[in-house]
Structure 1
């Protein structure tokens, strides 16, 4: 029990050393010495990190798709940049989904919120009126995740 409290305090004092000690306990099968409370919190934190990353990547994808479609004054100058960014975001999303396919359901859950957040950011970046952009998402999730789909440029 004393070793467990020592490990818990190690977590607070030196995270890196706590990780190394935890790995050693796992490798040697010394499960009694594990700081389970912090280990469980760290594992749950890993899952939350993927969700935050997916939320960020989907929002960024929407931002760039909206600028691509509606920011006419910048289209010619930024088209290549926007295309590159969209491709990068989609590769990152696909990579996360390859490792954790069940998170595609999470993308469906946050889809509308990500669009609304992106819309606010794009209005601020472009200084275009809010009514320039559609109130609802410009595409469905499958289209947004399709590397070959792009919305038509607004005229």
Structure 2
């Protein structure tokens, strides 16, 4: 059965992704370039960059959400401050690690900062049940300060 799947590389990609990856790695190790499924391999490599971008965007939104909640959700501040601060530290460290591995992604993160801020603002409003107007439309701090491990609002 596996041999049948391997014969048709397009079908293998569609029917057993894990096996396709293992076979592709095996072919690359052997330098068997002629039998590679080039179209899907190129798509997968491009998708690696898209995944890191999406992960960074998600982390930045969550970071902004928690910074806003820490700053503006006064009725819950004393009870939840430690949790929110721990989450803020966690998100910053994850962002820092990804940017350390791929510094070329930092300009992308700067480019989507405003959009991530608005999304984080919306999520903070939904989570806290505070009105969206509670949170400023303009970012509460510049991009670099949002990432600064020593800054809290």
The answer, yes or no, to whether TM exceeds 0.5 is yes
Specify the SS of the correspondent of 1:102. helix
| Cα RMSD, aligned residues only | 1.5
How many pairs does the alignment contain? 149
**Unaligned runs of at least 5 residues, structure 2:** none
Equivalence for 1:62: 64
Contact 2:65 2:124 in 1 (8 A): yes
**Correspondence 1:1-150 to 2 at 5 A:** 6-150=8-152
**Unaligned runs of at least 5 residues, structure 1:** none
Moved over 4 A (4+): none
Q: Provide the C-alpha distance between the structure 2 equivalents of 1:104 and 1:79, rounded to a whole number of angstroms.
A: 29
Deviation at 1:4, TM superposition (A): 8.9
Q: Provide the C-alpha distance between the structure 1 equivalents of 2:24 and 2:124, rounded to a whole number of angstroms.
A: 44
Q: Provide the C-alpha distance between the structure 1 equivalents of 2:80 and 2:105, rounded to a whole number of angstroms.
A: 31
Deviation at 1:131, TM superposition (A): 2.5
Q: Structure 1 residues 128 and 65, CA, compared in 2 at 3 Å: closer, same or farther?
A: same
Q: Provide the C-alpha distance between the structure 2 equivalents of 1:108 and 1:147, rounded to a whole number of angstroms.
A: 17
TM-score (norm 2): 0.93
Q: Provide the C-alpha distance between the structure 2 equivalents of 1:4 and 1:131, rounded to a whole number of angstroms.
A: 57
Q: Provide the C-alpha distance between the structure 1 equivalents of 2:106 and 2:55, rounded to a whole number of angstroms.
A: 13
Deviation at 1:5, TM superposition (A): 6.8
Contact 1:4 1:35 in 2 (8 A): no
**What is the CA deviation profile of residues 20-66 of structure 1, one whole-angstrom value per residue up to 9, with x for unaligned ones?**
11011100010000000000010111110000000100000000000
TM-score (norm 1): 0.92
